[in-house]
Structure 1
């Protein structure tokens, strides 16, 4: 009998207030944490702690706030967040992210939302445990170097950047590998997952599905501030050997906020002949913008307070131009080199939707096949007679949600007004971006250029919580 690996991702992106959910101790009391021996830490990383300690109590992380720069200090990359500055990214750094986005977009014309970061992080962890054909396919499709240290370095830099805390946004990222109580995880795998991917291993009794599902859902709800409280069911965790989960929650406030009294109803073109009256927000300020002849679309950067994260909007020039944009995402990064500051009048619809998809089929199409077969090789995960030959991926599921409105966090409105006023009187020509047709968007970390989410709004009125087999 082949044991199953299930890979889950959960994403919640919010630009409005939400309630924090606390997890009581008794909810998690049956969960055992994997401990790493001192000798393993010494052999792998060249150090050992003073006393044997478990992994971090929770891999949901937020680091200390960025320290302000004084007159006598030099300004480093990590301290630029108050500047409204755009630095073009390296080309092809996110090739897999856009390949995945393009494939999901082609599965239907509806709204969609993905987290390339969540998928890559979970698969990178599995790559650490894979060998042979299984490992080669993962490396090729993900675009990873065969030198594992290079991959580890990249994820360490990404996670370190995401750990930078600010009072102007909230970003929670959590990553866990759950192993069945009858599975004995390897110390080396546990140490590497914790050190380079900030991912902890937890043992859970999958033979008692109700309790296992409750424990997992409690952890996800805690990270997503209650936005996603039911990720797995009892059936999902039954007969599982290993479950890899990644959860992300982002709440940001616009640097240049939309005035609520400027929100008015206009027509949104679902198709060139089908329209709906929906609320559109409006703001006029300086933004990075360009019009792309290759994409036949306008590209707009909308930073959040702190300038560490930004949402990018790509609006086709033609009402039916979305397919052309999606088929040419390979030139998007080069076109973004042309972004320049302009006064821009933005009209953007309010939107909110959920999206759940099973991505196993797409990963197989892209070339990750052996990991799903009985021939899968993940000997690095666990020990035990014949155990490594019996583990394979059975499901890759991602659940995500996004909400975009005028203000975000009201607490930063005063600061925002001061920032808007610094430009003085308008003397430059102004451009206009009206997102009244299907458009592409993504949110990225401006320091590492890592995409947090990508998505498309085809109909802002749909909450779209359907399950997609894409």
Structure 2
């Protein structure tokens, strides 16, 4: 697996990569994350479950499929994913540059990103498509094992390795006889806070759930200068990792506002949260928490308007796999899983997305208080691009044992 321990990028190299990135593509990815969190939250109603996804991982996996799409399938995917105004070349340039930037996140952070494709024996995949996958996503390409159970085990072992053991069983079921190709993206993140929370200040405190009841959780505390943004609806703080190239964004709805309301308002302009924030002295209380979430994304993607890609009779992925005499490729399922742990020392997180392609038929000194004692939103963000590598809604902090 590629490792962020590779030689770091120089300032000139980072700036050159940043110039290749179309900011609106990053905004589209973040908006997709917000839309999916809201859609999945509606499916989980009443909202008592933590939701955690990797917008970056999902966009990368969908991007690998999009490269092989044509016609109405392509139009629907582009519209839902926010990619309509760019051609493949610009999408690929941004994807490749973002991949490189995320793989070099600076000191104090370890980041791993990997993509892989398994192809069923006997299935012809267009050479131009394979070249695109390798150039844009640095994807490994291999053969799908002929025995379904062993194919599943092989994919799961790859995901476990590339998420550093945090996602051991992405595929619960073996691929079907109709499976032509499996596309997988995996992300692993391990970041130490620039300013660690001191464990001796962690005390149990009340966390109020959405239904009004309370639970006791370990609350971490510190008072320091942080980038901070607020309005009448929410408070937001950036907690930097390492040398500051990535940070955790925590968004807390004001009293009287729900998390769902805030997400809906931010959906139109997710970059509001990336706006220049004040450097303020913040008295912060934040729960230690763990979130793990797995989901089949097919229904949520259909709700966002992607229909034909999942239709065995109407899907058009002929830039990927030519039509056979009595079959054509379609997306059978999208499996996504993410896990995150936040403690006094920092954050460890991992995510993986699988697509099963099938045949079918001068800082102010005034002190601000931010007590994160009710449902809140989190994102792990790349500072230079604003890309959300992880995003989630924490309804109920699960216990994390202290290190």
TM-score bin, normalised by smaller chain: 0.7 to 0.9
Is the contact made by 2:238 and 2:250 (CA closer than 8 Å) also made in structure 1?
yes
Tell me which residue corresponds to 1:451. 388
Tell me which residue corresponds to 2:38. 102
State the Cα deviation string for residues 32-71 of structure 1 (Å, max 9, x = none). Answer: xxxxxxxxxxxxxxxxxxxxxxxxxx6x4547322677xx
Query: What's the offset of the Cα at 1:222?
Result: 0.9
CA–CA distance in 2 between the matches of 1:255 and 1:280? 19
Q: Does 1:200 align with 2:200?
A: no
State the Cα deviation string for residues 287-341 of structure 1 (Å, max 9, x = none). Answer: 0002112xx1101111111211111111111165323212211344235425110
State the Cα deviation string for residues 269-304 of structure 1 (Å, max 9, x = none). Answer: 0136300111100111110002112xx110111111
Q: Does 1:392 align with 2:334?
A: no
Aligned pairs, how many?
374
TM-score by length of 1: 0.74
Q: CA 1:193/1:289 → structure 2, altered by over 3 Å: closer, same or farther?
A: same
Q: CA 1:68/1:143 → structure 2, altered by over 3 Å: closer, same or farther?
A: closer
Query: What's the offset of the Cα at 1:462?
Result: 7.1
Query: What's the offset of the Cα at 1:217?
Result: 1.3
Tell me which residue corresponds to 1:315. 252
Query: What's the offset of the Cα at 1:393?
Result: 0.7
Instruction: Please give the root-mean-square deviation of Cα atoms over the aligned residues, in Å.
Output: 2.6
CA–CA distance in 1 between the matches of 2:105 and 2:303? 38
Which of 119, 124, 135 aligns to 1:179? It is: 119
State the Cα deviation string for residues 1-20 of structure 1 (Å, max 9, x = none). Answer: xxxxxxxxxxxxxxxxxxxx
Query: What's the offset of the Cα at 1:240?
Result: 1.5
Tell me which residue corresponds to 2:306. 368
Q: Does 1:349 align with 2:287?
A: yes
Q: CA 1:92/1:223 → structure 2, altered by over 3 Å: closer, same or farther?
A: closer
Tell me which residue corresponds to 2:229. 290
Q: Does 1:217 align with 2:156?
A: yes
State the Cα deviation string for residues 142-177 of structure 1 (Å, max 9, x = none). Answer: 111341111111111111111215441111111111
Task: Look up the SS of the partner of 1:64 in the other structure.
Answer: coil
Is the contact made by 2:117 and 2:183 (CA closer than 8 Å) also made in structure 1?
yes
CA–CA distance in 1 between the matches of 2:10 and 2:79? 41
Map residues 136-155 of structure 1 onto 2, 5 A cutoff: 136-144=75-83, 145-155=85-95
Tell me which residue corresponds to 2:212. 273
Structure 1: unaligned runs, 5 residues or longer: 1-57, 81-88, 410-422, 464-470
Q: CA 1:284/1:276 → structure 2, altered by over 3 Å: closer, same or farther?
A: same
Q: Does 1:326 align with 2:266?
A: no
State the Cα deviation string for residues 390-431 of structure 1 (Å, max 9, x = none). Answer: 21111111011110000139xxxxxxxxxxxxx9xx981111
Task: Look up the SS of the partner of 1:129 in the other structure.
Answer: coil
Task: Look up the SS of the partner of 1:433 in the other structure.
Answer: strand
Q: CA 1:76/1:181 → structure 2, altered by over 3 Å: closer, same or farther?
A: closer
Which of 43, 64, 69 aligns to 2:6? It is: 64
Task: Look up the SS of the partner of 2:346 in the other structure.
Answer: coil
TM-score by length of 2: 0.85
Q: Which has the larger radius of gyration?
A: 1
CA–CA distance in 2 between the matches of 1:201 and 1:303? 36
Is the contact made by 1:271 and 1:320 (CA closer than 8 Å) also made in structure 2?
no
